[in-house]
Structure 1
C-alpha cells in the first residue's frame, strides 16, 4: 500500500480540519457525527448570505446534492466560487443525478464557476456522469461494477479531479493513478447515510492532506475498515450504525495499514 495513505488519518487528527457541508437533510446529523468521530470539525452552513465568507474559514467544502433545494443550489454554486477564489478543496457527491436532469445542470454550473477536487458517488452515478450506460433506481446503484474504473478515469480527466465510484468494490482514479478497494461490510448498504458519511470523510481528508487521490483512498479505506470492525460486534442495522461511529472514533492508522485490501493499477 502507498505509505502516504497510512499517514492521512494522523493528519486529520492533528489538524482538525473544518468541513463546511451543504448536504442532504436526510443524513445531515450522521455526517456531522462521523466527522466529529473522525477528528474533524463539521459546520452545516448553507445560508446564501453566509456561505461565501464561511468557505474562507474552512479546510474543505462538501457539496451533497441528495435533497437539493433552491436555497442549497444557489448556496452551493456561490460556495464553490468562494472555494475557487480562496483555494479551498471541494468534494462533490452527485446523489441521484441519473434521476434528475437539474442536478447535472448544477454540477456543470459548479464546474464552470467554481472548483471540484473530488467527485464521490456510487457506481451508477459515476458511470452516468461519464456518459456511460448505468443502472440506477432513485439514489441507489444497481450496477454490477463493469467498466467502473474506466468511468472513473474518463470522468477524472473530464473534470481534472479525483473520482471515486463506490459499490461492492470501490474504484478510485485521478486519471493517472488508479486503485480498487475490496474492504467493507454488506450492512453499509442497510443503513441510511453511509454514502453521505463517506463523502464527509473524503472532505475531512482532503482538508488535511494535499494529495487528493491519496486522501480519497484513505477516507474510503477508513469507512470500509470501520464497517468491518462494526460488523464484528453488531450484526443488525440499528446497532451497526452506532458501532460504525464508534469504530471510526477508535480507528488507527495501523489498522488501515494492516487491514486495507487495495489493488493499485
Structure 2
C-alpha cells in the first residue's frame, strides 16, 4: 500500500482518538465481573463515559440513550445473557453501534448459542476476540485454554476476513500481532508487550475501548484500529516504567490517560493491506 494511503489511515486514527476525547461518548457495557471495574476505569481514562448497566428491566431503554454498546460474554449469568440479547435488539432499533467480545466461546459451548442469538436478533458492528476465539468462530481449528488463546496466529488474518465477510462487520483478533479487517481493508499491528498477558482483563479493556471509538466514527475499521493501537502503545509505555504486573496495571491506566495524537502518529507499527 502506498505511503499516501498509510498516511491517510493513520491520520484518520488520530482524528478518531481526538473526536472521542471531544465528544465523551456514553458507552454501555455488559461485561464480565472479573474485569468490570477495569473496563470502566480504562474508558474514563481514555475520555469516554462508561455505564455498566445490565439489569434486564433497564437495558432496553438505556441502550437508546447510549453512544455505543459493549457486550462481553465472559461470565454470563442468565440475566446477563437475556440483557445482552435485549440490548443488542435495542441497539439495532436505535442505530447504536455494538462491539461483541466472544470471551471463552471456544471453551464453553453455551457461549456460542448466546453469540448466535445476538447476531441473529440484534446487531454487531465489531467482533473483537483473541486469535483462538476468532478462529473458532470462523470455523477453523484453534488452540485455547479457558479464556486464553494458545494459538500461534497462523491463518489469523484469513479467519478474520472470512468472519467479517460472513457477518458484514469488522473483526479483530488480538495476540502477539493484532489483526483487524472489514473484509476488504486489513491492518496488522505489531505494537504491544507481553506484560499485557500478565494482568487480568487487558483483552476486556481493549474491547471496551473499541466501544468508545466505535461511538464516534462511522468507519468501524478505523475506530477498531484506533482502540487496539491505543492499548498497545499505552502498554509499551507502562512497561517501560513498571516491570511487574501490579504496578503495570496501574501505569497502564495512567498511560491511556496521557496518550496523545503524536504518539499514535509516530509510534504505531502497522501494516495496512
Q: How far 1:253 sits from its partner (Å)? A: 1.0
Q: 2:181 aligns with which of 173, 179, 187?
A: 173
Root-mean-square deviation over aligned CA pairs: 0.5
- Superimposed CA distance per residue, residues 88-126 of structure 1 (whole angstroms, 9 cap, x where no aligned partner): 000000000001111111111111110000000000000
Any gaps of 5 or more consecutive residues in structure 1?
none
Give distance in 2, aligned partners of 1:67 and 1:253.
35
Q: How far 1:128 sits from its partner (Å)? A: 0.1
Q: 1:229 aligns with which of 233, 237, 241?
A: 237
| Cross-structure match for 1:141 | 149
Q: 2:89 aligns with which of 69, 81, 88?
A: 81
Q: TM-score, normalised by structure 2?
A: 0.96
Q: Would you say how many aligned residue pairs link Structure 1 and Structure 2?
A: 265
- Superimposed CA distance per residue, residues 200-220 of structure 1 (whole angstroms, 9 cap, x where no aligned partner): 000000011110000000000
| Cross-structure match for 1:257 | 265
Q: How far 1:23 sits from its partner (Å)? A: 0.3
| Cross-structure match for 2:215 | 207
Q: 1:47 aligns with which of 55, 61, 76?
A: 55
1:201 is paired with a residue of what secondary structure? Answer: helix
Give distance in 2, aligned partners of 1:33 and 1:175.
32
Q: Which runs of 4+ in 1 moved over 4 A?
A: none
| Cross-structure match for 2:121 | 113
Structure 2 residue 129 is matched with structure 1 residue 128 = no
Q: 1:151 aligns with which of 151, 154, 159?
A: 159
Structure 2 residue 103 is matched with structure 1 residue 104 = no
| Cross-structure match for 2:44 | 36
